[in-house]
Amino acid sequence: MLAFMSSSSFLTLFFIVLIISCLSGLLFLHPRISLRFVRIHISIVTLPPLVSLLALVNTSVNGVVGLWYVDSLAWLLAFFVLSIGLIIQRFSVRYLMGDRSYRKYFMLFTFTTGAASIAWLSGDLRLLIICWGLTLIGLTVLIRLNSRWKVTNEAAKVSGRLFALSWFALLIAIIWLSQATGQWQLSLALTNERLVLLEAWEVTGINLLIVLAVIIPAAQWPFQRWLIESVVAPTPVSAIMHAGLVNAGGVILTRFSPLFNGDVAQIVLLVFASVSVLIGSGVSLVQVDYKRQLVGSTITQMGFMLIQCALGAYLAAIIHLVLHGLFKATLFLQAGSAVRHYEAVTRVNERSSYLWVIAGRALGLLAGVAFWLLASGEGYQLVSALILGWALSVSWTQLVAFGKGRMGRLAGVFLLGGFAIVYFITHSLFFGWLHTTGYQSVQPPMSVVIFVISLLLFGSAVGTWAARNRSSLFFAVLYLWLVRLGEAKSKAVDSHPTYLKQYFSQGGNR
């Protein structure tokens, strides 16, 4: 029966269950509704991602339906955001129990993820900007929901100001594009017939506004402060933030790919994203706070995602943002059990381990060179070869070189092979889903690609050298600079929350 359902039928069913989910969240706000209703709410929230999954696997559901653009990419993103929201809400049932704003969290989670899913299904530019603005508002309110704590208020102010700047940049770009092309429909405004109406300077101006709009929510340098200070929000809020919202830049750039091609804005995005990769990596290495380590990792991963977009690899960027979102949500939800116990470990046969490390580096180099030679020679393939070789070398070192004995190394080899198989199966699945997605890809000059790779390699070499010369002045300066970048401002730090004093005093009186 599903094979015969039309695009409009799936859309109608999707919005019905989405509205029911939002009404359920509003109903849960009423104080007379039992807290046990949250179980029913979770069951209702299961319906929208289920419908979006059914629409995704139904290959016939593609095309423009009124205000909506329902291709496989739109349904995949709707399913992803709503599924992440469902998982986090299910986790929050017990995690947030007893919180003063317990009911509000579930309503805001449902509202925010619902608005984001509608934004990615929107085919009308006006509807897209409205829904994306509602998503940013929902995220800001989630950050400051504990308004009695001044730290969350400060974090919400910083986030809100930067979100407003990002939203207005995208708003101006959309208005500019629609006025120049005479179309508000996304698919019509980005046709070749309409884009030729734009002057070269107009294309550059619109693209630079889009770059500004995407690097802010992606927490790219120099706008990473909002994400660093938002770690004071509850862990479920951080999970939905890092998993389903900061990666929106890849979606926006993919949708605007016919416009965002062969322009100076690509070079600007490459430079900012490359610098962010280096800064994020450094922050994650020097921070001792687990959530700030994850923040540094997110900055790095979003930088790589934007590099993929700037190099025209939009499909790879979409796969990256989905898999990274799932991975990062898992890490945040297990943040409470992330306390590590360090013990002195003596490795047997250190020389043998070092030889295995050298073998892993050689294997990574061979794999990267082979991938580059077999690929089409595009700039993105060169970056992919670099990442593949580096990832293989690091994985080999962790799983094989430092394995305990012969059996440990053998198990590491099998694990590494299993991960590779899962990787290729997952990518094949995503490519099958997104084969109907239309996007355009124009490679930047190879000189720019080589510059980006040289910048990344230089930053990695400097970090390695500094780590091996920890007594040098350069290491001290670099370390303290990265620590400062990864720390929140003094207003956003409160080691002893004053709002808890009243809470405990009231509890003591009772």
Contacts of 296 (CB under 8 A, 6+ apart): 280, 281, 282, 283, 284, 285, 287, 486
Q: What is the pLDDT of residue 377?
A: 52
Short-list 328, 296, 248, CA closest to 87:
328
Q: Are 10 and 54 in contact (CB under 8 A)?
A: yes
Each residue's pLDDT tens digit, 379-423: 556 666 666 676 677 666 766 666 666 677 777 777 777 777 777
Q: Looking at residues 1-22, what average pLDDT do you find?
A: 79
For 423-479, give the DSSP string: HHHHHHHHHHHTTT------PPPHHHHHHHHHHHHHHHHHHHHHHH-TTSHHHHHHH
- Separation of alpha carbons 313 and 315, rounded Å: 6
- Report helix, strand or coil for 68: strand
Short-list 318, 215, 208, 217, CA closest to 259:
208
pTM for the complete prediction?
0.82
Per the omega criterion (within 30 degrees of 0), is the bond before 217 cis?
no
Sequence ranges of the domains in the chain: 1-121, 124-335+446-494
Each residue's pLDDT tens digit, 415-470: 777 777 777 777 777 776 676 555 655 666 666 677 777 777 777 777 767 667 77
Angle value at C-alpha 49, between 217 and 428, nearest 5 degrees: 80
Residue 137, pLDDT > 80, answer yes
Each residue's pLDDT tens digit, 469-480: 777 777 777 777
Residue 213, pLDDT > 80, answer yes
